[in-house]
Structure 1
Amino acid sequence: MDKKFLPVTREEMLERGWDQVDFVYVCGDAYVDHSSFGAAIITRVLEAHGYRIGMIAQPDWKDEKSIQVFGMPRLGFMVSAGNMDSMVNHYTVSKKRRSSDAYTPGGVAGKRPDYATVVYCNLIRRVYKQVPIIIGGIEASLRRLAHYDYWSNSLKHSILVDSQANILIYGMGELAVVEVAEALESGIAVEDITYVEGTAYRTKNLDAVYDAQMLPSYEELCRDKKVYAESFYTQYCNTDHFTAKCLVEKYNDHLYVVQNPPARPLTQMELDDVYALPYMRAYHPSYEAAGGVPALQEIKFSLTSNRGCFGGCSFCALTFHQGRILQTRSHESILAEAKEMIKEPDFKGYIHDVGGPTGNFRHTSCGKQLTHGVCTNKQCLFPKPCKNLIVDHSDYLALLRKLRALPGVKKVFIRSGIRFDYVMEDKDDSFIRELCKYHISGQLRVAPEHVADRVLHYMGKPENAVYESFVKRYQRVNKMTGKKQFLVPYLMSSHPGSGLSEAVELAEYLRDLGYMPEQVQDFYPTPSTLSTCMYYTGLDPRTMEKVYVPVNPHEKAMQRALMQYRNPRNYDLVKEALLKAGREDLIGFGPECLIHPRKEKWMQEKWDNRHRKNTKKR
């Protein structure tokens, strides 16, 4: 049977001989049937289990008819904001509207609403009063309990409360979505589907809830930021399938949100099956006239080899979404996808990436995780690598060698990033040698994020000395291989813990490096990260100690400007920052100075001095 897109119109549904779909999937992204898009994975998984799916991509949220394309679905609606939180998609960190949207045909902005999941669900609920609504995707996943919302600068309810959805699927969702679908198919009322791992739900009472941990109520969270920090850390410690408890958050005497423990990690065979589904690997042809969907071009010739991350960066939401246990595809699965990729007419011989959240993770961090789970009270790599950490790049190297050997492949890049601290724990040079020789082109992007150890501590990153050791090793290996290649560091300003003195330290590092980043990464407080909790509460939830947080927009602008101190447009901000930090020594003409005095002021002072001397002579 020929592969085809899921129906997007009623006519296409009828052409398949269907008079009704089982589920309507409503998505804030354009319809791209590629395994890098969550909507594609979930709909293809459901299809593989025999369900009929209709796709409504980017409906007009002001028009009730836009979600009536297929009529009333037999089992329910599924809703996702898309591959990104809709607010991150819409706004920069300075809360300015973005001018484009890579997940929309032609890159046009404004094709989805703010808080898209809530808006779509309320639109559906106005038309279909009793239909089951299941929400998922990154936006729902990271807003499943009460959370700080940066854009409104407020503590918001669980998205289940505002959306009126029945069930929320968090995490990657393949196991949970099938179990929910099968429960609905068997005739179980949606309000009785309370037992599925990897889900959260609303309930009027706790009669069916057992062995749960009560979190502070929403009212208590709003009243005391310290209580919120404590509640958040409880959630943070309950993200592992093997150790997590059921969590309950109270909203009033007749409304509770219950979060079941996470779904188990997929086995390698199950993950292979997900990626073997009949994806079209393309955007819907109806978008061709608009120029296609830009986001596809970034990942079309990339390969996902893993999911999950035990890196534990404080500003990353992966702990809440994918979890810390690594799940990997087999070599056979990845090679099969690569061979299909090579057949595509616009493939030029370059595989753009082989990785996932972290490219060089290909197995769990220690041997006990698949039976006992990850440790709740410590990280695998921070502040120092755990003594039980398994450091082994051999499987990843074997995979990369097989991909390089495929006919039609010129080069295989690694662009999803590597953990340099993990590399430094590997005493064998084999991986870094082959990385430099075969898998980068002129420069390697890595993410030290900062140079001040105080800031790195709050980021959950290794001390700067680890990065400096990696730089020396990278340079040594490049020299051995006869390559002249560079490191491009990702650095972040205004993270909790970073004051002006730490920002100046970062600027001095860039001065010594002789490098000025073209774009500056300012800390973005996105939902459900440790760093966002610090930003909102001024507390480190791991220790409950106070942490300095740059929240004033002007100070944040100064920290950003210091990272681009050579830009003349940043002169006034850089000067103000240096003066406030007590670092006037960095204003002058010496080699260590960041900026010169203003020319006109220098000339004025010179003229004033000469004038005073002439006056004395007279």
Structure 2
Amino acid sequence: MTDFLPMTREDMAKRGWQQLDFLFISGDAYVDHPSFGPAIISRLLEKYGYKVGLIAQPDWRSTTDFKKLGKPRLGVLVSAGNLDSMLNKYTAAKKYRSTDNYSPGGQAGCRPERATIVYCNRIRELWKNTPLVIGGIEASLRRFAHYDYWSDSVRRSILIDSRADLLIYGMGEKQIKELAAQLSAGISVDNIRDIPGTCYRTESLEHLWQYTETPGFEQVTNNKKDFAEAFKTQYLEQDPIRGKIIVQNHGEQYVVQNPPSMPLSTPEMDEIYDLPYQRTYHPSYIPAGGIPAIQEVKFSIVSHRGCYGSCSFCALYAHQGRIIQSRSQESILQEAEQITKLPDFKGYIHDVGGPTANFRQPACDHQADRGTCRGKQCLFPAACKSLNTSHNEYLELLRAIRKLPGIKKVFVRSGLRYDYLLAANDMAFLKELCEHHVSGQLKVAPEHISPKVTKLMGKAGRETYLKFKKAYEQANKELGKEQYLVPYYMSSHPGAGLKEAVELAEFLRDTGYNPEQVQDFIPTPGSLSTCMYYTGLHPLTGEKVYVAKTAHDKRLQRALLQYRNPKNHALVYEALTAAGRQDLIGYEPKCLIRPLKQGHYPAGVKPGGKPDKHRSLQVTRNKKTKKQTSRS
């Protein structure tokens, strides 16, 4: 049946259904598109013959909405949505966000804080013995005891607090197929403990014979070194081939994590993206103006999953994994053809990529049988000798999409790793990228330029960025195109103090770039940087790390990166003074800001730099003109 999945009893009646097999509760509005997790999982279950219905953004203040589709036969699936519900609701400054792109009309407040836990508690009120399974990004990254930035505390595993029977971490397709098969065969959810990519609760470890145990909840709450040690184990074992079972005590219970699920094969990836999605939001949202999140992905194509970039502030390693899983060109071209038939398609494919656009293949041939290298990165501090850097297949794919009837342009807008491109030394690819796949601006993410900070981030340094910038500008010059490089920078990442922020501000001055947007580091659950933020330690090396934690310290760093904004003048002045860099306050070309007005300096502080003669002369002339005007 080609239609949206049931959201009401009337929808079920049209399909002749009396009872669902699975009920999916989602914190996002229902968008039937392969960029939205609930749609993927539900469509996959549908393909294998299960009856699935969705309740999107239920009113959590009572159980009324949760029971409108009835008690399901096999289980309830719960996800907070495409974002962690706390990140969805709060900014880095812990202020309420005014909009929610995953809700009708972008309206905020359509889901509760800690949505997974709240939804599960309502389900337990209704059906105490129905199998309850949680998944999605919120559950995936909170599966162990974790630091929660918004409460500034260590919280228990979300599996404990939600009282769910099973937690699916990662993307979930293999896990949900196996789980559904076992439940359908009559196996009790309490006895389903062998599925890779899942976590479960247990009161005894007698059934386990080979595992590694991390410091428990009580230990990591009271001792930051124990927290860092627990994170280190969890981080290093996130591999589907060599990873071990991990156990963490939570009082009278243990959380047991099975090793990650095996990567999807190309046919399995094709199967997922070839499902009969409606490729838009449910029509019930039309009166509210639709779901804004669809705009970014409606005319975009996911070509692969996974990322071996291993940026410290990203938790993708723990969700999609470090092994690339790619779709076939045939599947991608088929989706591109489907997009051309959409009524509002104007001829432009907005993106073809994944977490990192130019990672279309596994990092090396060894990963197929050995997994990822324990404690090592593929690109940092330098590209591994075994790294496959060829961009040929990705370029062939882009060329093939360009040739399809009805397509005017194919853009690449998802993250591009320029250090990987430089490692390939493929300037022909860069030139063709600039000629056909850049829409006036290419966005890249150096994040910072201070060696101290980029080392902690696991990112390439200043010289690599400048080398790419030069190559990009040269390619556009040869093409006769005026296209710009738009770098993203992050303030207040662990390791970044005022000295490093000033260093970045001087770099921005020297390169002539004025960032309109600067992202404050947000310690989201599951990332290595978040562990550094909470503990003040690098969990893999044990070294101490400076962390800017107060709101004012963060404002000072952010202001330095946007020192040209007049609104930031007082903050920049304070930051430069605190950093002992008054030499950057004055009228010399290298100065970041001009001195404050006479009498506005704090006690004991003198401005740096020398007055500019031409500016002083102009000021004198202006004063004379004003006097003459007043006399006349």
Does TM, scored on the shorter chain, surpass 0.5? yes
Partner of 1:15: 14
Q: Shift of residue 601 of structure 1?
A: 4.3
Secondary structure in 1 matching 2:134: strand
Distance 1:464 1:510 in 2: 11
Structure 2 counterparts to residues 229-240 of structure 1, below 5 A: 229-240=228-239
Partner of 2:384: 386
Distance 1:234 1:255 in 2: 19
Equivalent residue letter for 1:548: Y
1:383-417 per-residue CA deviation (whole Å, 9 max, x = no partner) reads 11111111100000000000111111111110002
Q: Is 1:450 aligned to residue 448 of structure 2? A: yes
Distance 1:446 1:70 in 2: 45
Structure 2 counterparts to residues 196-595 of structure 1, below 5 A: 196-252=195-251, 254-595=252-593
Distance 2:596 2:574 in 1: 13
Partner of 1:596: 594
Partner of 1:70: 69
Q: Shift of residue 465 of structure 1?
A: 1.1
Q: Is 1:191 aligned to residue 190 of structure 2? A: yes
Distance 1:580 1:349 in 2: 53
Q: Shift of residue 135 of structure 1?
A: 0.3
Partner of 1:181: 180
Partner of 1:109: 108
Distance 2:263 2:415 in 1: 23
Equivalent residue letter for 1:172: M
Q: Is 1:170 aligned to residue 169 of structure 2? A: yes
Q: Shift of residue 484 of structure 1?
A: 1.9
Q: Shift of residue 89 of structure 1?
A: 0.4
Partner of 2:625: none
1:602/1:39 CA distance change after superposition, 3 Å: closer
Equivalent residue letter for 1:381: L
Distance 1:32 1:279 in 2: 9
Q: Shift of residue 597 of structure 1?
A: 0.9
Secondary structure in 2 matching 1:271: helix
Q: Shift of residue 514 of structure 1?
A: 2.0
Distance 2:63 2:597 in 1: 62
- Give the conservation status (yes or no) of the 8 Å contact 2:493–2:520: yes
Distance 1:525 1:173 in 2: 24
Equivalent residue letter for 1:86: S
Distance 1:475 1:167 in 2: 51
Distance 1:356 1:347 in 2: 21
Q: Is 1:26 aligned to residue 25 of structure 2? A: yes
1:165/1:602 CA distance change after superposition, 3 Å: closer
Secondary structure in 1 matching 2:293: helix
Distance 1:432 1:240 in 2: 32
Partner of 1:142: 141
1:10-58 per-residue CA deviation (whole Å, 9 max, x = no partner) reads 1211221111000100000000000000111000111111110010000
1:602/1:131 CA distance change after superposition, 3 Å: closer
Q: Shift of residue 8 of structure 1?
A: 0.2
Secondary structure in 2 matching 1:205: coil
Distance 1:602 1:94 in 2: 28
Distance 1:375 1:22 in 2: 41
1:203-257 per-residue CA deviation (whole Å, 9 max, x = no partner) reads 12112223111111111111110111011011001111001000011112x3111
- Give the conservation status (yes or no) of the 8 Å contact 2:532–2:539: yes
Secondary structure in 2 matching 1:336: helix
Partner of 1:132: 131
Q: Shift of residue 598 of structure 1?
A: 2.0
Q: Name the stretch that deviates more: 314-323 or 506-515.
A: 506-515
Q: Shift of residue 428 of structure 1?
A: 2.6
Secondary structure in 2 matching 1:540: coil
Secondary structure in 2 matching 1:111: coil
Equivalent residue letter for 2:437: H
- Give the conservation status (yes or no) of the 8 Å contact 2:214–2:229: no
Equivalent residue letter for 2:94: K
Secondary structure in 2 matching 1:539: coil
Q: Shift of residue 355 of structure 1?
A: 0.2
Secondary structure in 2 matching 1:360: coil
Equivalent residue letter for 1:336: Q
Equivalent residue letter for 1:529: S
Distance 1:581 1:59 in 2: 50
Distance 1:459 1:191 in 2: 40
Secondary structure in 2 matching 1:489: strand
Distance 1:42 1:370 in 2: 26
Partner of 2:95: 96
1:489-531 per-residue CA deviation (whole Å, 9 max, x = no partner) reads 0000000000101000111111122222112111010000000
Displaced runs of 4+ in structure 1, greater than 3 A?
599-607
Distance 2:408 2:443 in 1: 21
Secondary structure in 2 matching 1:114: coil
* TM superposition score normalised by structure 2: 0.94
Q: Shift of residue 600 of structure 1?
A: 4.6
Distance 1:506 1:277 in 2: 46
Secondary structure in 2 matching 1:303: strand
Partner of 1:613: none
Distance 1:364 1:13 in 2: 42
- Give the conservation status (yes or no) of the 8 Å contact 2:446–2:461: no
Distance 1:521 1:602 in 2: 30
Q: Shift of residue 76 of structure 1?
A: 0.8
Distance 2:555 2:316 in 1: 28
Secondary structure in 2 matching 1:214: strand
1:64/1:602 CA distance change after superposition, 3 Å: closer
Equivalent residue letter for 1:334: I
Q: Shift of residue 599 of structure 1?
A: 3.6
Distance 1:465 1:308 in 2: 27
Structure 1 unaligned runs (5+)? 611-618
Q: Percent identity?
A: 58
Distance 2:192 2:275 in 1: 27
Q: Shift of residue 69 of structure 1?
A: 1.0
Partner of 1:37: 36
Partner of 2:623: none
